[in-house]
Structure 1
Amino acid sequence: MKWLPNTVYTLLLIIGFILVGYFYVDYTLQSPTRTQEIVVEIPPQSSVKTVGSILEKQKIIRDDRFFRYYAKWKGKTNIMAGSYAIGKDESIDGILTILTSGKENTTKVTIIEGSTAIDIAETLNKQIGTNKEEFLKEVNRTNGKFAFEKQIPVKPEIKYKLEGYLFPSTYQFHKEDSPQKIVDTMLSRFEKEMKELNVNTATTSEPNGKPLHELVTFASVLEREGQKKDELTKIAGVLENRMEKRMKLQVDASVVYAIQIDTGKKLTQVMKADYKYSSPYNTYQIQGFPPAPIGSPGANAYRAALSPEKHDYLYYVLKEDGTGYHDFTVTYQDHLKADQKAKARR
């Protein structure tokens, strides 16, 4: 029976090692003390090992060396890409459940085509609580990360530097996202959309001869002026024809924008007196396009700006028949007749 004490000692030693190992692994997978939730970004096609490293770097777990083994033991290795909010008291099992659920802790924010910087600030404030003043301050930043930001003219009449470049789309934002992160996300989308349209944002001039800033401005006018996407190229042709003849563009949308950025008031209808409003954006008062975009154009407006329709039209007027389409005319006399018909339909 002399072997009994040695056997018991060996068993106790083994049990001790197992317990120490268990508590050590448990310790490494626990979170350091946190006072607030942490947003973690999981890139597409991330391995479980990579996810563990991300969690360690963001101090969500203490050590990542056992994370992948624990995830495999729990049968939760199908971690999905996305942006997730991890609560300050969340356990390792809770974290794995969040990461494998695919349910991101974000709010869907839709920025509609033609939105101005002021409109976007108000939308963000309403939906995720973004401070409007801080957002608009970021829109006027001077140290942007994108090369095309350096091409944007610096003029006193340009109130919001990144006006027009904040691409309209549906985004997933966190309530904690900073104005800088939001602006960077929207500019990244702008860069991606330009690439798909074969527009090189790193150069100062595009294939059609327009500098990037002029292209964005042209597209913004089309976006705000045209209600029907299949009419945008025709409207673009009218504006180019008027430019060639040194005629003022006389775009109502420019008047609406001019008054909005100066007074905060957004017109629902332009009155005759509004055409006399003094502003470098009012195309009834200035020659050519405004000095900067008057809203955020979508892809269709860019396509129209890049390829205006060739025709002889110099005028257009909304039909006022509920369709959103315009009547296009070559002469001023025919334009007046079309305008009278439209007024009769109101």
Structure 2
Amino acid sequence: MYIKKILLAVALLGLVGAGIFAYTIYTSLFSPNTTFNNDEAHVFIKTNATYNDVRNALKPLLEDMESFDEVASRKGYVNNISAGHFIITKGSNNNEIVNAIRSGNIPITISFNNQERIENLAGRIAEQLEADSLSLVKVLRDSTFLRQQGLNENTALTLYLPNTYEFYWNTDAEGFRDKMVQEHKRFWNTQKIAAAKTVGLTLTEVYTLASIVQKETVKADERPRVAGVYLNRFNNGWKLDADPTVIYAVKRNAANFDQIIKRVLYKDLETDSPYNTYKYKGLPPGPITMPDLSAINAVLSPEKHDFYYFVADVSKPGYHMFAKTLSQHNANRQQYIRWINAQGVNR
């Protein structure tokens, strides 16, 4: 009888122990383990990250790191880290958290606008993707790649169209570049290629002229008219005489793209650079910025008119006054000269 009581007691203790163990496991797996108040938290895990890197990223978000460590170890995550962008929802348990950061790499949207150089584009992308700016500059300016695309260092920027795109955060530099090539091909469909032929320009020339239109006017509804002016000049063998190309030439010659130039001076017009369209006929060797899609479309579908000149209209900020003759243009210029002198803008 005594032995039976002992065996019963041992059995009961075993059941209690098993219950406690089961409860501990259940708690580790299925109890909420987040501390943040927002509906979700975003976690970015770099390529080749260690488990310690993951712990450091999660520590501010989790209530009990030890229980998470236990579950991560049991599920084999510790030695199988996944890179990417992951989302943890408020109130998630350890099991859900491990599942989320192991196989839930979620794309992000990135955007870039009117960058003047490959270096500026690389810096903007590096702010949004894992790839660093140095690796981006290297692959975007790779001479072999550019030759394959029929481009050179001056025209490299024409591959990239300012817009919003979807990427995995851990996309590397080559991955970014290759997707942009595909986006470029998608944009230049049969209709747009035909439109470029109609205006007598190659795709690279369209992009280059669009970059000038972009800099000339911020008003999208005015861009087709500005594009028409430049095409009139171009098709008649005139110099384009585009102030934005002079500004770009001055910056490029000075190797200082951070300087701000609000007024083009007569001495600037003498800047010796193939980008200076006051000095050299035709289009510059490449774009002076990344044009918006509206500027590209303006060149592809320009307004047909007889205007050859334009100057800022001070009565309608952002817009311009257009002229068919030089005498009319010079009269229009006077209102702008008086206004800019009154503003005290000397550079």
TM-score, length-scaled by structure 2: 0.63
| Match of residue 260, structure 1, among 243, 247, 251 | 251
State the 1:91 CA deviation. 7.2
CA distance in 2, matches of 1:264, 1:325: 28
State the 1:340 CA deviation. 1.0
The corresponding residue for 1:38 is: 83
% identical aligned pairs: 24
Q: What is the CA deviation profile of residues 85-118 of structure 1, one whole-angstrom value per residue up to 9, with x for unaligned ones?
A: 89xxx976435446998x9374x54311464323
Structure 2 residue identity aligned to 1:164: T
What is the RMSD computed on CA atoms of the aligned residues?
A: 3.6
SS in 1 for 2:310: strand
State the 1:329 CA deviation. 0.5
Structure 1 residue identity aligned to 2:325: T
CA distance in 1, matches of 2:325, 2:86: 59
Structure 2 residue identity aligned to 1:94: I
| Match of residue 326, structure 1, among 309, 320, 327 | 320
The corresponding residue for 2:262 is: 269
Structure 2 residue identity aligned to 1:38: A
The answer to whether 1:118 aligns with 2:119 is yes
Identify if the C-alpha distance between structure 1 residues 95 and 224 changes in structure 2 by more than 3 Å, giving closer, same or farther. Answer: farther
CA distance in 2, matches of 1:149, 1:296: 21
The answer to whether 1:194 aligns with 2:195 is no
CA contact (8 A) 1:194 1:200 kept: no
SS in 1 for 2:322: strand
The answer to whether 1:282 aligns with 2:284 is no
The corresponding residue for 1:94 is: 97
SS in 1 for 2:120: helix
Identify if the C-alpha distance between structure 1 residues 207 and 100 changes in structure 2 by more than 3 Å, giving closer, same or farther. Answer: farther
| Match of residue 295, structure 1, among 289, 297, 305 | 289
Q: What is the CA deviation profile of residues 287-334 of structure 1, one whole-angstrom value per residue up to 9, with x for unaligned ones?
A: 010122222222212221112211111101111346210110111121
CA distance in 2, matches of 1:257, 1:121: 19
Question: Considering only CA atoms, is the larger Rg found in Structure 1 or Structure 2?
Answer: 2
| Match of residue 225, structure 1, among 216, 220, 231 | 216
State the 1:256 CA deviation. 2.5
Q: Mean Cα displacement is larger for which, 123-132 or 232-241?
A: 123-132
CA contact (8 A) 2:208 2:283 kept: yes
Structure 2 residue identity aligned to 1:104: I
The corresponding residue for 1:139 is: 140
SS in 1 for 2:157: coil
How is 1:1-346 mapped onto 2 (pairs within 5 angstroms)?
A: 30-31=75-76, 34=79, 36-39=81-84, 84=86, 93-94=96-97, 96-97=99-100, 104=106, 106=108, 108-113=109-114, 115-128=116-129, 130-144=131-145, 150-152=149-151, 154=152, 159-172=153-166, 176-195=170-189, 198-199=192-193, 206-262=197-253, 263-266=255-258, 267-272=260-265, 273-321=267-315, 323-346=317-340
SS in 2 for 1:199: helix
CA distance in 1, matches of 2:214, 2:77: 51
CA contact (8 A) 1:85 1:105 kept: no
Q: What is the CA deviation profile of residues 252-297 of structure 1, one whole-angstrom value per residue up to 9, with x for unaligned ones?
A: 2212322334413243324312222111111111101012222222
CA contact (8 A) 2:115 2:121 kept: no
State the 1:161 CA deviation. 4.2
State the 1:251 CA deviation. 1.0
Aligned residues: 262
CA distance in 2, matches of 1:332, 1:105: 54
CA distance in 2, matches of 1:322, 1:114: 27
Q: What is the CA deviation profile of residues 124-172 of structure 1, one whole-angstrom value per residue up to 9, with x for unaligned ones?
A: 3445575434322222123449xx95332x4xxxx44421221101235
The corresponding residue for 1:22 is: none
Identify if the C-alpha distance between structure 1 residues 149 and 335 changes in structure 2 by more than 3 Å, giving closer, same or farther. Answer: farther
CA distance in 2, matches of 1:111, 1:249: 28
Structure 1 residue identity aligned to 2:280: I
In structure 1, list runs of 5 or more residues that go unmatched. 1-25, 40-82
SS in 2 for 1:163: helix
Structure 1 residue identity aligned to 2:204: H
SS in 1 for 2:188: helix
Identify if the C-alpha distance between structure 1 residues 193 and 255 changes in structure 2 by more than 3 Å, giving closer, same or farther. Answer: same
CA distance in 2, matches of 1:242, 1:198: 22
Identify if the C-alpha distance between structure 1 residues 330 and 84 changes in structure 2 by more than 3 Å, giving closer, same or farther. Answer: same
